[in-house]
Structure 1
Amino acid sequence: MQPVRTRSKVLYILLISGFFAILGSTMSKSPTLPLYARDLGLGREEIGLVAAASTVTGIIVNFASGVLSDVYGRRKLLKMSGFVFLTAPPLYFLAGNALTLAFVRVYYGIATAVFVPVSFALISDTYPEKKGTFMGFLSSATLAGRALAPLIAGSIIYFLGFSVVFVLCSVAGLIVFALTFRLPVPDGKPERFEFTFNDNLLLIGLLDAAVYMAYQGIETFLPLLYYLQGKAWLSGLILSLEVGVMAIVKPYAGYLSDRVGRTRPIIGGMVLVGAAMLTFSLASSLPLVIVGALSFSVGASLSEASTKPLATEVSKLHGAALGFLESIKDIGQALGPVIIGILGFSRGFTFIGLFGIVALLVFVVRFGLRGPQISKNR
C-alpha cells in the first residue's frame, strides 16, 4: 500500500483536477453551447444534434479509456485527458457550422469520458478499504464545478461575450493538465490484462442508467412544466438545489456504503429515485416538484455512491469496470429525454421510475440483500 502522504497527494490532485475539469467542460456547454450555436445561425434540430455529440462520444470512449488505463496505467490516460481539456476550447473559435461545432463537441467529450472513469479507478486503487468515502468526495468536487459553471458562464457571456468563456475553459484545462504531471509515478507494472465479460457489471450499470435517465429527464423537462413556464430563474434554482444536495450527500453516502455494505444503500437510494419519479409524474404544484427533486438528489447519491465501488469489487479490472458503468450511464442519460419526449411528462417519468425499480428487483434477486461476497484480494 502507498504511504499516507502519497495517497493524500493523489486525493488532493484528483479533487482539484475534478473540480476544474468539470467546471471548464460544463461552462463550454451550459448555457454557452445553445447560445453560441444560435449565434452561428444553427436551427433547433442542428443544436440538438450538436448537443448530443459529446454524449455519444462518452458511450464509446468511457469503456475504452477504462480498459486502456488498466493496460497502460492511470497517469498516462489522465495526462491525455488533461491535454484535451486544454486544447478543445480554442477550437470553438474555428467552428462555423453544425458539422465543425459537432466535431469540437466530440473532441471535448473525449476529455470527460477519459477523466471520469480513470480518476475514480485511481481512487479505488489508492483507497481500497475506503473507496466509497473518497469516491464520494471526488463526486462532490465534480458536482461543485457542475453547479457553478452555468452561473459563471452565463454572467461572462452577458457582460464580456463568448470568447472570454472559451479562454477560461482552456485555463481550467491547463490547470488539469499541469496537475496530472504531479501525480506519483506508480511502482512496478500494471497487472497482466485479462478481460472477460462480467454480467454483474451489466446489472449494476442498469441501476446507474435508470438514475441518469431520471436526471437528464428532470434537467431537460423541468423548465417546461406549466407552472414553471416563464420562470426560468425558479427552474434554475430548483436544478441548482438538486445538484447542491447531491454534492453534500455523496461523501456521507460513500462513508455509509463503506460501513454497512453496498447493497442496502443501493436499495434505499433506488426506492427514493422511483418515488421521486412518481412524484414528478403526479406533481400538480410547486411543493411537490421540490419534494421530488430533493428525493431524487438523496436517492441518486445513495445509489451511485455504492454502485461505483461495488463495480470495482466484482471485477479485478477497476478501469474497465468503471468505464463500462460510465458507458451504460451515458446510454441512460441519452434515453431519458427521448422517453419523456415520446410518452409525455406523466407516463415518461412513471416509466423511468418503474424501470429503476425493476432493475433494482433484478439486482436484489441476483445479489441478495447482503450483496455479493467480495474477496479481499480484489
Structure 2
Amino acid sequence: MAIPPLIPLIKEELAITNAQAGLLMTSLLLPYALIQVPAGYFGDKLGRKKLVVISIVGYSLASSLIIFARQYWHLIAIRALYGVFAGLYYAPATALISEIYREKKGSALGVFMVGPPIGSAIAPAIVIPIALALEWRYSFLVLSLMSLTVGLALMLIIKGEVKQVERPKFTVPKEVFSLSVMNFIVLAAFFGMLTFLPDFFVNKGRSVEEASFYFSLLSIVGIFGSIAGGGVYDRIRETSLFSVLALNAFLSFLLVKTAYPLLVLLLGLFFYSVGPIVTAYTSEHASEENLGTVMGFVNMMGFLGATAGPYFIGLLIDTAGYEIAFYLISGMYLGGLLTLLFGRTAPVFKVKNGGK
C-alpha cells in the first residue's frame, strides 16, 4: 500500500497515465493471486513457517530493488516479483493459525488480519516524509528493511516447524467452489470500493483532504472490525458470514443513497470483518492434509476478483457514473451472499475432541 500515496510523485517523474499507475497495483496482485494454491500445498509439504520466512525475506529483497528502478517497466517487473514472494505468505500462515487455535481460530485470524487496515492507515505517514526528504524510491528501501527485520526475527526466534503435515494432498473439495466464487465477487467489490471511495466523496462535493480523511477513517475502524469479526465467528460460526455480507450490501446501498460520510464508521467495521470470517469458515471445509491448498485456492479466487474489480468499477464509473457503479458494489455483496447460500450442499469438517 506504499504505491497509492506515492502515485502523484511517480506519475510526475515517469510521465505515466492513471491507467499505467493502476497497473502498478495489478502487476503485484495478479502474480500474488496465481501463486496462492502452490503456496498452500508447498507450505503443507515443506513446512509452513519455512515458507512464511521465505516469503517475507523474498518480498523484502524484491521491493528493495525499486531503489534501482529508472523506467516504468522496471517498476512493473519488480512489483510482479514482489507479488510472487508475497503470495507465498497467506495460505501457509492462515493454515498454521487455523491448526494451532482450532476452536478459537476466528479470534486469532481477526488479530492476524489487522495488518491490512493498519498498513493502509500508516503507509502514507511513513512513505511521504521519506519521499519528500529524499525521493520516493527510498520509501521502499525503508519498508523493505522493516519487513526484513520481521522475517529474520521469525526465523531466529521460533525454532523448527510448529506443525508438520504428514501426508499433504493437492485437493480442493467441490463444496469450496461456491465459497471461492463468493470470495471473488466480494473482494472485487471490496477493492472497487477502496479504490474509488475518495473520488466518490469528491464527486459528491467534498474536498480532497476531507475525502482522504474518510478513507483513512475506514481503515482505522477496520482494525476493530477485523478483531470483532473473528471473535463473532467463534461464537456463531457461518451465521456471521451471511450476516456480514448482508450488512455490507445494505450499508453500501445506504452510502450511495445518502453520501453520508459517517457511514464509513459502520462500513469499516463490517468491510474488514469479512476477511477473518471467510478465512476461518474456509478452514472448516478442509482436512489437515489439504488445509493449505484449500486456503490458497479460496484466496486465489478472491484476489483474482481484487485484480479485476477496480478496473471494471472504474470502467462503469466512466460510462454510467458513480451512483450506478456503487449500487453495483452493493449488489455484488448481495450476489456473493446468494452464491454462498445456493452452494451449500456438502458437510464441513468439524473439530471434535482435538481432531478433525
Task: Give the TM-score normalised by structure 2.
Answer: 0.88
Q: Is 1:38 aligned with 2:12?
A: yes
Q: Which residue among 210, 213, 229 is the counterpart of 1:253?
A: 229
> 2: CA distance between counterparts of 1:166 and 1:187?
31
Are the equivalent residues in 1 in contact too, given 2:49–2:162 (CA < 8 A)?
no
Aligned to 1:6: none
> 2: CA distance between counterparts of 1:202 and 1:290?
36
Moved over 4 A (4+): 226-230
Are the equivalent residues in 1 in contact too, given 2:225–2:270 (CA < 8 A)?
no
How do residues 226-245 of structure 1 correspond to structure 2 at under 5 angstroms?
226-227=202-203, 231-245=207-221
Q: Give the deviation of 1:37 after TM superposition.
A: 4.7
| Change in 2 beyond 3 A, CA 1:85/1:187 | closer
> 1: CA distance between counterparts of 2:21 and 2:342?
42
Q: Is 1:223 aligned with 2:195?
A: no
Q: Is 1:281 aligned with 2:262?
A: no
> 1: CA distance between counterparts of 2:38 and 2:11?
30
Structure 1: tracts of 5 or more residues without a match: 1-25
Are the equivalent residues in 1 in contact too, given 2:103–2:351 (CA < 8 A)?
no
> 2: CA distance between counterparts of 1:234 and 1:339?
26
Q: Is 1:170 aligned with 2:144?
A: yes
User: 1:206 is aligned with what amino acid?
Assistant: V
> 1: CA distance between counterparts of 2:133 and 2:147?
23
Aligned to 2:109: 135
Deviations 1:67-115 (A, max 9, x none): 2101111122112112223312331122222222111101111232222
> 2: CA distance between counterparts of 1:247 and 1:188?
28
Determine helix, strand or coil for the equivalent of 1:128. Answer: helix
Are the equivalent residues in 1 in contact too, given 2:198–2:215 (CA < 8 A)?
no
| Change in 2 beyond 3 A, CA 1:259/1:59 | same
Q: Which residue among 338, 341, 351 is the counterpart of 1:364?
A: 341
After the TM superposition, which of the residue ranges 354-363 and 224-233 deviates more from structure 2?
224-233
Are the equivalent residues in 1 in contact too, given 2:56–2:86 (CA < 8 A)?
no
Q: Is 1:307 aligned with 2:278?
A: yes
Aligned to 2:293: 320
Deviations 1:292-313 (A, max 9, x none): x333322233433221111111
> 1: CA distance between counterparts of 2:255 and 2:28?
28
User: 1:326 is aligned with what amino acid?
Assistant: N
Q: Give the deviation of 1:229 after TM superposition.
A: 6.0
Q: Provide the identity percentage.
A: 22
Q: Is 1:57 aligned with 2:31?
A: yes
| Change in 2 beyond 3 A, CA 1:213/1:94 | same
Aligned to 2:85: 111
Q: Is 1:330 aligned with 2:307?
A: no
Structure 2: tracts of 5 or more residues without a match: none
Are the equivalent residues in 2 in contact too, given 1:272–1:295 (CA < 8 A)?
no
| Change in 2 beyond 3 A, CA 1:121/1:35 | farther
| Change in 2 beyond 3 A, CA 1:364/1:76 | same
Q: Give the deviation of 1:30 after TM superposition.
A: 3.1
User: 1:313 is aligned with what amino acid?
Assistant: E
Q: Which residue among 48, 51, 54 is the counterpart of 1:80?
A: 54
Deviations 1:257-277 (A, max 9, x none): 11222x111111001111122
| Change in 2 beyond 3 A, CA 1:375/1:229 | same
> 1: CA distance between counterparts of 2:44 and 2:163?
13
Aligned to 2:266: 295
> 2: CA distance between counterparts of 1:252 and 1:299?
9
Aligned to 1:343: 316
Are the equivalent residues in 1 in contact too, given 2:186–2:332 (CA < 8 A)?
no
> 1: CA distance between counterparts of 2:97 and 2:7?
31
Are the equivalent residues in 2 in contact too, given 1:228–1:234 (CA < 8 A)?
no
Q: Give the deviation of 1:119 after TM superposition.
A: 1.6
Are the equivalent residues in 2 in contact too, given 1:61–1:114 (CA < 8 A)?
yes
Are the equivalent residues in 2 in contact too, given 1:70–1:190 (CA < 8 A)?
yes
> 2: CA distance between counterparts of 1:120 and 1:314?
14
After the TM superposition, which of the residue ranges 356-365 and 126-135 deviates more from structure 2?
356-365
User: 2:316 is aligned with what amino acid?
Assistant: L
User: 1:265 is aligned with what amino acid?
Assistant: S
> 2: CA distance between counterparts of 1:335 and 1:45?
13
Q: Is 1:92 aligned with 2:69?
A: no
